[in-house]
């Protein structure tokens, strides 16, 4: 049986979760203060994921950059390639919140979406 | 001279929430003055998640949180002026501002809400020895370069300060391609949220060196490296632990200071502990009709609390305009053993509705200690807290009936107690 | 091209000599190794206009200190240089030291310093309530003052340019050779030929002298470290507070600055490396400790920055001024440590006279004696602010909020003669970035303004020297 400790990142409480991975591959979690904590711990030991935020340059906008985020979690191991995929992306104003900047980033079903509005200059 | 009922200085989260709350409380004559080219203040550069869990019951990025308010402001056509810098406020609430379209603007306000936020402590204030090369930035300035302007401030980075801003920037710069070599923290514990240690440092294998500080800056033209060293419990350098770390960039996340230059000009009394104004529970400063909320009052950890505070400040600003008579009785609130400061620092009982919220921070890390509240010498509240740290703002809620029970109370005292 | 005069060094001495010499019809050039004027000792000193009691009678220091002090108020007014005659107080804690104060007073009188008085405790504390209560007596010198050393250097430099003086920046003198009919000034940018040379090169002025003259001089630098405090405590003291001078110099001062900050320093340490202007933990600790003898409370919570400068002290202990005996045409302004800043206008006047005489120069009847208008928006009345705005809307855009510096002022600082090309250049000309947030708010904006106005890639905009750039690229460039 494997024992691990993870810190839940779902909310600012940051509960310390104790995870036991049993010989039959089942997982038991203790220390969570909400259901999301239990789910997080299981995912974190099996297939850790993260949401990523970044910026993308905007042409003809009232500001030079638009902030973006992944519309959901992506596998932790895909973070680097996700950033590389964003490297040459440029968009044009106007941008509205929620606009899809890149669809299905790095072969996932997650999109990169805008998190702010950029008006035309 | 322009006449306005309410003038709000700053359109960051505090100013925006105050403006909306003023409107919702019946104000029609509101003016927001903002020095940037956009509304939203610091939220625009806080592109990471973690905002709004309390306010909107969802996790938003900074700009998304700001947009919720900005959209309403635009819809309701609440008046604001961008690129406008307030350069003076008098104790009679006369405001002088300036911008490129109108020139000098003089506004006589009935009520003023201070929402100017805070600035960062610079390298100079720490007097880290060495030359004065380029490549040294405060974390917020670096964040502006990366997130607003789209520029990278450096390639090989050492960060001093493990508060949330330092941690967030560690991740941000790594994602954008810089190499963050380490985060140094002078205290034996990090000032940031545990979740940020995980997703900003652990995820990217960035070492966190607790009880370490930067003792020297190397390089004359551009920074070439830093000397770091371990410190003891008294925060003095332990000789022999010095280590040279080469880098071309040093980011400093070493403290936020409420920006009260204008408040001082108005004659508002400033609490030397918080560097923010003394306020009563109606968030009114020592100058009648001037209110304060958000980081200009005291540095917050959660934007949701900033919004809450701003909503309240606006509510009382409207009351002030309506000329609602106040009972003069005001009870001072004292920060005693283990408590660094409280906001508010006085309570006007007549303003207490169902309950009174007092926010505070402790001065040290405490484990399994009690937060106690005394009405004069009578202990009315005594709660065990597993952990208390200076990095996390705490609160106590006093029900109105306690004030009824002790009508002659002359002081409220909050302290950390062992039992 | 043959110059009449080449001045080596664009510190406060070099630029003041240039602007004085331009009053004659001469072809003048100033050669400066750094990217801007005022980059060495002239930018890192106490900014004090000494009254002159401290200099040894009969020395050039004494003579030019008093002359410079007399000239300073008028000089600064004409050139829009911030200056205030705030008076100096040399304090003593021990009655046994009264004789030392008396000796200083006597020395001052011999030097021609007016108004010197010994004050008793009561009067001192009335004048300066924040002084250490253990003070027993003090020497009061009413002609002591404070000046902005940057403007004292840059103002005359601009005037020199307005009057046709050529400035060659980023130009290092690598050798100096006297031929039969002229001097060859060898630099990294080529060889200059000139009839006369004025050596105002500060820390390296001994090297330059020793290349041509048999009368050798040696600069032994002494480092001085300072702490600068928020304007909130800028009026903690009104006069400049000195302690009794020692063999190492005037000691640690506590003084307001011409810009309204409080400054404490300097110490005085031998420094072998002429490029070492690092501050040290011990040095800063020392000046703060010594300052406690002068004032009750040293407001350390209000420190905004620290810096260090090197004094170009000649081992003989006095200024070396004038034509080298063995090298006609080669003029020294060498070993200008304290009271060099005070002496600058007076040294410049005499030096210009000597060089002009040696060249038989005629007066320049078209001499422009007024600098281009310099606006300090922060100091203007509301009505004047509005008038300025009507003239140029960019006075309405505040860039540095700590010091209230507008876009119009920053652009002007770039486009003026010898305009700023760096962040530090903007700071010294406009004060943008020298406030309590130390550029945290304004530097991204100033960087962009410099990039736009100079039509340079923002990555090339530097703090002072070419290598001291800020931005390394765009987001994701390094991925």
Q: Looking up tokens 């080219």, which residue turns up?
A: B37
Residues C194-200, mean pLDDT to the nearest whole number: 98
Strand, coil or helix: C112? coil
The answer on pLDDT for C248 being more than 80 is no
Query: What six digits make up the tokens of B47?
Result: 């592109």
Helix H, strand E, coil C: the string for A59-108 is: ECECCCEEEEEECCCEEHHHHHHHHHHHCCCCEECCECCCCEEECCHHHC
CA B261, B264, B266, B271 torsion-angle sign: positive
B203 contacts in chain A (CB < 8 Å): 50, 76, 79
pLDDT at C390: 98
| Residue C219 DSSP code | B
A65 contacts B38? CB cut-off 8 A: no
Is residue C479 one of the residues assigned to a domain? no
pLDDT at B353: 85
Residue B99 to chain C, least CA–CA distance (Å): 4
Percent of chain B at pLDDT > 70 equals 100
Q: Judge whether C53 and C139 are in contact, CB under 8 Å.
A: yes
C158 vs C372: CA distance, rounded Å? 8
C-beta atoms surrounding C95 within 10 Å: 9
A86 contacts in chain C (CB < 8 Å): 476
Residue B37 to chain A, least CA–CA distance (Å): 9
Residues C17-35, mean pLDDT to the nearest whole number: 98
Residues in chain B: 419
B95 vs B108: CA distance, rounded Å? 6
B190 vs C383: CA distance, rounded Å? 51
What total number of domains does chain C contain? 3
Angle between helices B62-75 and B13-24 (to 10 degrees): 30
Residues B275-291, mean pLDDT to the nearest whole number: 97
Residues C83-98, mean pLDDT to the nearest whole number: 95
Q: Looking up tokens 């929620």, which residue turns up?
A: A98
C358: exposed, middle or buried (C-beta count within 10 Å: 0-12, 13-18, 19+)? Answer: middle
B98 contacts C396? CB cut-off 8 A: yes
Whether residue C342 sits in one domain with residue C455: no
pLDDT at B135: 98
Which of C451, C458, C475, C477 to mutate against chain A (most A CBs within 10 Å)? C475
Q: Which of residues 196-215 of B touch A (CB under 8 A)?
A: 197-199, 203
Nearest CA in chain A to B66: A116
The pLDDT tens digits for C326-383 are 999 999 999 999 999 999 999 999 999 999 999 999 999 999 999 999 999 999 999 9
Nearest CA in chain C to B272: C301
pLDDT at B195: 87
Whether residue C383 sits in one domain with residue C304: no
C93 vs C240: CA distance, rounded Å? 17
Could you give phi then psi for residue C452, rounded to 5 degrees? -70, -50
Distance from CA of residue B98 to its chain's centroid? Answer: 25
Angle between helices C423-430 and C149-162 (to 10 degrees): 100
Query: What six digits make up the tokens of C152?
Result: 């004292």
Q: Both ends of chain B: CA-CA distance in Å? A: 59
Which of A45, A65, A90 to mutate against chain B (most B CBs within 10 Å)? A65
Kindly list the catalytic residues of C.
Answer: 50
C475 contacts in chain B (CB < 8 Å): 146, 150-152, 176-177
The answer on pLDDT for C235 being more than 80 is yes
C476 contacts in chain A (CB < 8 Å): 83, 86-87
Q: Is A117 on the interface with B (CB under 8 A)?
A: yes
Strand, coil or helix: B141? helix
Of B122, B150, B177, Cβ closest to residue C438: B122
C475 contacts A83? CB cut-off 8 A: no
Which of A4, A37, A53, A114 to mutate against chain B (most B CBs within 10 Å)? A53
pLDDT at B329: 82
Q: Judge whether C258 and C146 are in contact, CB under 8 Å.
A: yes
Residue range B122-254, CATH number: 3.50.50.60
C227 contacts B134? CB cut-off 8 A: no
In whole angstroms, how far apart are CA B384 and each of B298, B367, B372, B417, C379?
Answer: 25, 9, 9, 9, 55
Element (H, E) at B23: helix B13-24
Q: Judge whether C119 and C137 are in contact, CB under 8 Å.
A: yes
Beta-carbon contacts of B337 under 8 Å, excluding residues fewer than 6 positions away, are: B415, B416, B417
Q: Where are the domains of chain B?
A: 1-120+256-324, 122-254, 329-419
Q: Looking at domain A53-114, does it have CATH number 3.10.530.10?
A: yes
The answer on pLDDT for C254 being more than 80 is yes
CATH number of C38's domain: 3.50.50.60
The pLDDT tens digits for B137-153 are 999 999 999 999 999 99
Could you give phi then psi for residue C294, rounded to 5 degrees? -95, -45
Interface of C with A (CB under 8 A): 474-476, 479
C-beta atoms surrounding C362 within 10 Å: 10
Residue C479 to chain A, least CA–CA distance (Å): 7
Q: Looking up tokens 């009870």, which residue turns up?
A: B331
Q: Which CATH superfamily is domain B1-120+256-324 in?
A: FAD/NAD(P)-binding domain (3.50.50.60)
Which of C282, C440, C443 to mutate against chain B (most B CBs within 10 Å)? C440
**What number of C-beta contacts closer than 8 Å exist between B and C?**
146
Residue at a domain's end among C292, C326, C359 = C359
The pLDDT tens digits for C421-442 are 999 999 999 999 999 999 999 9
B132 contacts in chain C (CB < 8 Å): 307, 463
C463 contacts B133? CB cut-off 8 A: yes
Q: Is the ipTM of this complex over 0.90?
A: yes
C294: exposed, middle or buried (C-beta count within 10 Å: 0-12, 13-18, 19+)? Answer: buried
Q: Judge whether C418 and C167 are in contact, CB under 8 Å.
A: yes
Whether residue C228 sits in one domain with residue C132: yes
Q: Where are the domains of chain A?
A: 2-46, 53-114
Q: Judge whether C69 and C342 are in contact, CB under 8 Å.
A: yes
Q: Looking up tokens 């006597």, which residue turns up?
A: C106
3-state DSSP percent of chain B in helix, strand and coil, to 5: 25, 40, 35
CATH number of C249's domain: 3.30.9.10
Percent of chain C at pLDDT > 70 equals 100
Residue at a domain's end among C359, C390, C416 = C359
Q: Which residue range forms the structural domain that includes residue C119?
A: 88-142+220-311
A65 contacts in chain C (CB < 8 Å): 475
Q: pLDDT 10s digit of each residue in chain A, 121 long?
A: 889 899 888 877 788 899 998 888 888 999 888 888 888 998 898 899 999 999 999 999 999 999 999 999 999 999 999 999 999 999 999 999 999 999 999 989 999 999 999 999 8
Nearest CA in chain A to B52: A11
Whether residue C298 sits in one domain with residue C244: yes
The pLDDT tens digits for B12-23 are 999 999 999 999
C479 contacts A57? CB cut-off 8 A: no
B59 contacts in chain A (CB < 8 Å): 11
A58 vs A92: CA distance, rounded Å? 5
The answer on pLDDT for C250 being more than 90 is no
Q: Is A85 on the interface with C (CB under 8 A)?
A: no
Q: What angle do CA C124, C111, C215 make, to 5 degrees?
A: 130
Residues C38-49, mean pLDDT to the nearest whole number: 98
Residues C46-73, mean pLDDT to the nearest whole number: 97
pTM, to two decimals: 0.95
Is residue C190 one of the residues assigned to a domain? yes
For B25: left if phi > 0, alpha if psi spans -120 to 50, otherwise beta; the answer is alpha
Residue B369 to chain A, least CA–CA distance (Å): 19
The answer on pLDDT for B411 being more than 80 is yes
pLDDT at A14: 81
Mean pLDDT of chain C: 97
pLDDT at B391: 84
């Amino acid at each position: 049986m494997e024992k691990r400790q993870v810190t839940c990142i779902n909310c600012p409480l940051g509960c310390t979760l104790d995870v036991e991975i049993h010989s039959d591959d089942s997982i038991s979690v203790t220390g969570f203060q909400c259901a999301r904590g239990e789910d997080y711990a299981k995912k974190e030991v099996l297939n850790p994921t993260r949401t990523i935020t970044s910026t993308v340059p905007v042409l003809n906008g009232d500001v030079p950059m638009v902030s973006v985020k992944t519309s959901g979690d992506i596998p932790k191991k895909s973070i680097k390639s996700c950033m590389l995929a964003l490297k040459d992306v440029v968009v044009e104003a106007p941008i509205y919140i929620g606009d899809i900047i890149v669809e299905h980033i790095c072969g996932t079903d997650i999109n990169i979406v805008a998190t702010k509005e950029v008006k035309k200059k | 001279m322009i006449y306005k009922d309410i003038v709000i200085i700053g359109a960051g989260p505090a100013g925006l929430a105050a403006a909306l709350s003023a409107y919702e409380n019946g104000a029609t004559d509101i003016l927001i003055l903002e020095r940037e080219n956009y509304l939203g203040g610091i939220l625009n550069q806080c592109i990471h998640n973690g905002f709004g869990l309390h306010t909107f019951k969802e996790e938003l990025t900074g700009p998304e949180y700001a947009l919720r308010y900005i959209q309403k402001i635009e819809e309701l056509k609440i008046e604001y002026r961008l690129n406008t810098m307030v350069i003076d406020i008098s104790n009679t609430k006369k405001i002088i501002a300036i911008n490129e379209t109108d020139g000098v603007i003089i506004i006589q306000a009935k009520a003023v809400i201070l929402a100017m936020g805070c600035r960062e402590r610079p390298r100079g204030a720490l007097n880290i020895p060495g030359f004065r090369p380029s490549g040294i930035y405060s974390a917020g300035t670096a964040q502006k370069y990366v997130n607003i302007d789209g520029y990278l401030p450096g390639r090989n980075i050492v960060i001093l300060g493990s508060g949330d801003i330092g941690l967030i920037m560690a991740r941000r710069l790594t994602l954008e391609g810089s190499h963050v070599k380490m985060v140094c923290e002078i205290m034996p514990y990090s000032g940031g949220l545990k979740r940020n240690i995980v997703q900003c440092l652990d995820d990217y294998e960035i070492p966190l060196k607790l009880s370490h500080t930067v003792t020297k800056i190397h390089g004359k033209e551009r920074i070439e490296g830093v000397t770091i060293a371990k410190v003891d419990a008294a925060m003095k350098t332990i000789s022999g632990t010095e280590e040279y770390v080469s880098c071309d960039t040093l980011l400093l996340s070493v403290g936020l200071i409420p920006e009260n230059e204008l408040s001082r000009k108005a004659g508002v009394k400033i609490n030397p502990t918080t560097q923010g104004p003394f306020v009563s529970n109606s968030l009114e400063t020592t100058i009648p009709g001037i209110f304060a909320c958000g980081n200009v009052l005291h540095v917050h950890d959660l934007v949701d609390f900033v919004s809450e505070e701003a909503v309240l400040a606006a509510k009382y600003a409207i009351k002030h305009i309506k000329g609602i008579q106040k009972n003069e009785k005001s009870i001072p609130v004292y920060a005693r053993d283990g408590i660094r400061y409280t906001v508010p620092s006085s309570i006007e009982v007549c303003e207490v509705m169902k309950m009174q919220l007092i926010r505070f921070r402790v001065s040290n890390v405490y484990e399994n200690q009690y937060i106690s509240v005394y009405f004069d010498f009578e202990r009315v509240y005594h709660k065990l807290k597993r952990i208390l740290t200076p990095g996390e703002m705490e609160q106590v809620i006093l029900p109105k009936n306690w004030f009824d029970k002790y009508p002659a109370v002359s002081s409220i005292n909050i302290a950390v107690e062992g039992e | 091209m043959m110059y009449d005069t080449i001045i080596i060094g664009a510190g406060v001495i070099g630029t003041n000599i240039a602007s004085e010499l331009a009053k004659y019809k001469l072809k003048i050039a100033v050669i400066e190794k750094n990217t801007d004027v005022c980059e060495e000792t002239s930018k890192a000193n106490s900014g004090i206009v000494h009254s002159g009691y401290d200099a040894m009678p009969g020395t050039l220091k004494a003579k030019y200190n008093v002359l410079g002090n007399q000239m300073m108020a008028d000089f600064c007014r004409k050139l829009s240089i911030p200056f205030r005659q705030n008076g100096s107080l040399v304090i003593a804690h021990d009655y046994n030291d009264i004789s030392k104060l008396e000796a200083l007073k006597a020395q001052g009188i011999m030097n021609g310093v007016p108004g010197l008085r010994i004050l008793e405790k009561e009067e001192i504390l009335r004048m300066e309530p924040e002084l250490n209560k253990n003070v027993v007596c003090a020497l009061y010198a009413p002609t002591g003052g404070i000046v902005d050393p940057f403007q004292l250097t840059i103002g005359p430099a601009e005037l020199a340019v307005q009057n046709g003086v050529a400035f060659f920046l980023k130009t290092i003198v690598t050798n100096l050779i006297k031929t039969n009919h002229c001097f060859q000034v060898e630099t990294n940018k080529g060889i200059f030929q000139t009839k006369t040379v004025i050596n105002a090169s500060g820390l390296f002025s001994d090297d330059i002298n020793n290349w041509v003259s048999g009368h050798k001089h040696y600069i032994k630098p002494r480092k001085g470290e300072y702490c600068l405090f928020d304007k909130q405590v800028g009026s903690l003291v009104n006069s400049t507070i000195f302690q009794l001078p020692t063999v190492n110099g005037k000691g640690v001062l506590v003084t307001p600055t011409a810009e309204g900050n409080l400054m404490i320093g300097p110490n005085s340490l031998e420094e072998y490396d002429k490029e070492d202007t690092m501050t040290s933990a011990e040095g800063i600790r020392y000046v703060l400790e010594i300052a406690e003898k002068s004032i009750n409370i040293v407001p350390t919570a209000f420190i905004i920055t620290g810096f260090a400068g090197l004094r170009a002290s000649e081992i003989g202990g006095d200024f070396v001024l004038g034509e080298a005996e063995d090298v006609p045409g080669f003029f020294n302004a060498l070993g200008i440590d304290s009271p060099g800043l005070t002496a600058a206008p007076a040294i410049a006047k005499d030096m210009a006279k000597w060089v002009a005489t040696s060249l038989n120069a005629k007066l320049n009847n078209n001499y422009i004696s007024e600098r281009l208008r310099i606006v300090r928006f922060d100091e203007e009345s509301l009505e004047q602010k509005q008038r300025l705005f009507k003239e140029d809307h960019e006075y309405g855009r505040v860039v540095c909020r700590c010091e209230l510096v507008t876009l119009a002022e920053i652009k002007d600082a770039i486009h003026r003669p010898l305009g700023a090309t760096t962040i530090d250049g903007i700071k010294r000309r406009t004060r943008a970035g020298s406030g309590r947030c130390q550029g945290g708010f304004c530097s991204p904006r100033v960087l962009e303004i410099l990039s736009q106005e100079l039509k340079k890639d923002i990555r090339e905009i530097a703090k002072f020297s070419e290598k001291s750039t800020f931005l390394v690229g765009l987001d994701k460039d390094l991925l």
